[in-house]
Amino acid sequence: MAQDSTGPLAIRSLSEMGIDKLHNPSKTLLVIDHTFPAADEKVANLHAMIRDFVSNLNCLLVEGSISHQYILEYLADCGISIQEVPETIMYLGLSIKVYLHGT
Q: What is the pLDDT along the chain (103 residues), one digit of tens a residue?
A: 788 888 999 999 999 999 989 888 888 888 888 788 888 999 999 999 999 999 999 998 988 877 667 666 666 666 555 454 455 555 555 555 554 455 4
Task: Tell me which residue of 34, 57, 60, 38 sits closest to 47, measured CA to CA.
Answer: 38
Pick the CATH number of 2-101 from 1.10.10.10, 1.20.1560.10, 3.40.50.300, 3.30.499.10: 3.30.499.10
In contact, 80 and 71? CB cutoff 8 Å: no
Q: Is 74 helix (H, G, I), strand (E, B) or coil?
A: helix
**Per-residue pLDDT at 103:** 47
Q: Is the pTM of this model over 0.75?
A: no
The structural domains of the chain, with segments of one domain joined by +, span 2-101
